[in-house]
Amino acid sequence: MPHTETPGTEAAPRTRLRWWTELPLIALVYACYSVGRLLARGDVSHAVDHGLAILRIEKALRLNAEHPLNRLFTREPWLGVPADFWYASLHYVVTPAILVWLFRSRAPHYRAARTWLMTSTFIGLIGFTLLPTCPPRLLAAGHGFVDTMAHYSSYGWWGGEASAPRGLGGMTNQYAAMPSLHVGWALWCGVMLWRHGGTRATKVLGVVYPLLTTIVVMGTANHYFLDAVAGAAAMGAGLLLAPFVTEYAGRATGWLTGRVAPVAEGPGDARAPIVSGGCQTSAGERFPRQREQRIGNGAEPDASPTGAGGGASAPAR
């Protein structure tokens, strides 16, 4: 017999998304990332050594694109100023906007995309902790870099210390250059636009946005080219690990739900069997089994009720 659910008692699907649970989750993850990034400050001398080591590797591999881009952005304000706005703003605007777009319009793909982004973000935090790196803009002037954020600070809200608002530069970890999550998050945005945008324009944006972000982070002297490569690698690792994170998160949620869910029927709720006229019946059974069998065979039920001391039945005619 097919199972039918009583109207009004259907449980909400487990895959149903609710903004009032997603928003606190994303806010919590980002807060943990921000606090962890701030606390992951390493020794300045080690951070400078790591930055110079990256420069030497790039020069040996002929990958040093930071110097020509930085000179161009410093010499041409029409390039440098928009690049600074790009670096200081889009990182915090485009990524949440695409998350909201996926949540509202591409719900079947949202959960996997969100898990991928969060997993990669925590991988980046591990990189900041293990390898504090001085960005090009904070190296000694002899290395040939100009901090365009400081150079054009009169055009925007940021100060000379970092891309943070004026007076809040001390609240950021300026030695968290490796990997570049500006590039990593931009790559995630590009993949989402390419896969789920559905139009040629969104596919073009999906390619252009991460490429321009990579140019911007180098031209503003905030990251090395290898920082950008590491940001892309962090996103790749996050993509590979995201299914395992989803699986273990589901197991943990199921375990917690089982621990806190109320017991539907306690041991005291079981009803005692009914005993009548020496015949035991199950709970809810209307007639003793012997009498029910007589009725089923065509015999008339007793005219008078039989009980523990019931009277005799009517004589047969």
Burial grade of 131 (CB within 10 A; 0-12, 13-18, 19 or more): buried
Average pLDDT, integer, range 76-103: 92
Smallest CA-to-CA distance from 227 within 179, 275, 262 is with 179
pLDDT at 168 over 80: no
What CA–CA distance (Å, rounded) separates 93 from 86?
Answer: 10
In degrees rounded to 5, what are phi and psi of residue 92? -100, 0
Q: Which residues pair with 158 in a beta bridge?
A: 165
Non-local (6+) Cβ contacts of 233 within 8 A are: 179
Chain segment 53-68, per-residue pLDDT in tens = 999 999 999 988 999 9
What CA–CA distance (Å, rounded) separates 19 from 193?
Answer: 21
Q: What is the pLDDT of residue 115?
A: 92
Q: What is the pLDDT of residue 29?
A: 65
What CA–CA distance (Å, rounded) separates 96 from 115?
Answer: 14
Cβ proximity of 182 and 257 under 8 Å: no
Q: What is the pLDDT of residue 30?
A: 66
Residue 293 C-beta-side C-alpha neighbours within 13 Å: 5
pTM assigned to the model: 0.71
What CA–CA distance (Å, rounded) separates 93 from 80?
Answer: 20
Residue 45 C-beta-side C-alpha neighbours within 13 Å: 0
What CA–CA distance (Å, rounded) separates 166 from 157?
Answer: 6
What CA–CA distance (Å, rounded) separates 165 from 156?
Answer: 9
pLDDT at 2 over 90: no
What CA–CA distance (Å, rounded) separates 149 from 45?
Answer: 23
Report the percent of the chain where pLDDT is more than 70: 63
Q: Are strands 274-276 and 279-281 parallel, antiparallel or unpaired?
A: antiparallel
Average pLDDT, integer, range 305-310: 44
Q: For residue 192, give the H/E element and its range.
A: helix 181-196
Which stretch of 111-115, 128-132, 192-196, 294-298 has the lowest confidence by average pLDDT? 294-298
Q: How far is CA 268 from CA 265, 273, 278, 280, 283, in A?
A: 8, 14, 25, 20, 14
